[in-house]
Chains A and B, each alone.
Chain A
């Protein structure tokens, strides 16, 4: 699913965000990415999301070579990925339903948008607020909306950058439990977190970055 070989990402002349990073994540894996601020977690996600190119090294994600991918192919590549962020990135002028259904509209999915959207909202426990605007929801509810939006089009890979960063411990566990539920359906999860407590919820693979280098690859 994700294969990185000797990836370097350098900004300017001498700021190395990633150094000689090699790793492989297989289909249906659930992998945590940990490390202090500035370790390179967000840079790695930017490379995987095709917002930036590596300075050197080879990257294969969801069957696409990110070294040679053309600008016009990137949207179609991103349709294979779901994204979840710490700040949710919900559209405030759209209802919960409209936010979640958005990917189906963008990819012009042939499935019944209404049925599928309501189903996934029920799954994340938010069927009753489908017509509300995000500002009227709690942080935990907003993050569940973001998860529903990230997964509604059945992506091959879900990338979550500090998804529990703005949530209390109980809600963080709820969110992680949702991830584990969806992972059972075969989606690959790559989740960056600061919260080492979450790693103990399930025996998952943990990658640890420090100063742009992979210093540990273990099972929690």
Chain B
């Protein structure tokens, strides 16, 4: 097979389309991972007054234990653990900050607990917060899930964007593939005419061009996966890590082999169907099988 400029463009366009599709899947998957991660952190934090002593802590703990309808899994976070978490979250940006030992006196101790589903409603949480704040040793009550609740529209919008992007890209790739097959067939019009004249069946001609397209499709899949992995690797290990977002970088995951196979299989069915339909209509347009 000779590599014409059309065939080369076909390979390049398909490869970049594959990269875009795989990247949109990666975006969608990692968005879910990050949101899921934050979701796990949706614990209520009950911050103690900075000067609270052991007896005060016990009073607050006793109070929390009476709220079994609203909270569960109560854990104590001491100053050292809170300072270490704080430094860890901010990665190298915290380099200019004081050390963990120096931070200890500045960070309050706290209790964290899981909210029951009944208390997750905003009004219920507000009631719980108000009742906890009446205790003189409680400085503040905050709920990690507030952020998510506040931005739940953004969360849904991002997920919708991810899915829409994937769908639009898949359709675009199918359309591009169909147009490419059409160009490929147009370019080979003379050959198809000869094949048709010497008695090649429709399936033989379809098979020949679909095989050729399958070859380009497979090559672009391989290049697409490799290129996507390289982009992902550099984004995760160079860009994000380089910028100090260790926490985000360590959470990002590439597609698993099963996910890659599933995406490729779906694309294969999508694209090859588009290519077959286009081939059929192009051959009819060329009047080679228009004897009716």
Listed in ascending order, the chain A residues whose CB lies under 8 Å from chain B are: 49-53, 71-72, 74-79, 83, 89-93, 102-103, 106-107, 149, 153
Contacts and interface: CB of A to CB of B under 8 A. Distances in A.
5 contacts: A51-B287, A51-B290, A71-B289, A106-B199, A149-B198
Nearest to B199: A79
B195 A50 contact: no
A32 to B, nearest CB: 21
A103 B199 contact: yes
A75 B193 contact: no
Contacts of A93: 2, 191
A89 B193 contact: yes
Q: Sort chain B's interface into a size bin.
A: 10 to 19
Nearest to A92: B190
A148 B223 CA distance: 43
Contact of B198 (A52, A71, A102): A102
A220 B191 CA distance: 37
B240 to A, nearest CB: 49
A107 B197 CA distance: 12
B194 A76 contact: no
B190 A89 contact: yes
Interface stretch (B80-88, B151-159, B200-208): B200-208
Contacts of B190: 89, 91-92
B51 interface: no
Contacts of B191: 91, 93
A149 B191 CA distance: 14
B194 A71 contact: no
B54 interface: no
Given A75-B201, A75-B204, A78-B199, 8 more contacts: A51-B290, A52-B291, A53-B291, A76-B199, A78-B198, A83-B198, A106-B199, A107-B199
Contacts of B291: 50-53, 71, 74
Given A89-B190, A93-B2, A106 B292 contact: no
A71 B292 contact: yes
Nearest to A78: B199
Contacts of B201: 72, 75
A79 B197 contact: no
A89 B191 CA distance: 8
A72 B289 CA distance: 10
A106 B200 contact: yes
A92 B191 CA distance: 9
A52 to B, nearest CB: 7
Contact of B199 (A53, A75, A90, A149): A75
A169 to B, nearest CB: 28
A91 B194 contact: yes
Contacts of A89: 190, 193-194, 197
A83 B201 CA distance: 17
A162 to B, nearest CB: 16
A103 B289 contact: no
B8 to A, nearest CB: 16
Contacts of A153: 198
Contacts of B204: 75, 106
B197 A102 contact: no
A103 B292 contact: no
Which of B191, B193, B291 is most buried by chain A, counting CB atoms within 10 A of its CB? B291
A209 B198 CA distance: 27
A103 B198 contact: yes
Contacts of B290: 51
Contact of B197 (A76, A78, A92): A78
Interface string B180-199: 00000000001101111111
Which of B191, B197, B202, B291 is most buried by chain A, counting CB atoms within 10 A of its CB? B197
Interface in B259-292: 287, 289-292
Contacts of B292: 53, 71
A184 to B, nearest CB: 23
Nearest to B201: A75
Contacts of B287: 51
A83 B199 contact: no
Contacts of A79: 198-199
Contacts of A75: 196, 199-202, 204
A79 B200 CA distance: 8
A97 to B, nearest CB: 15
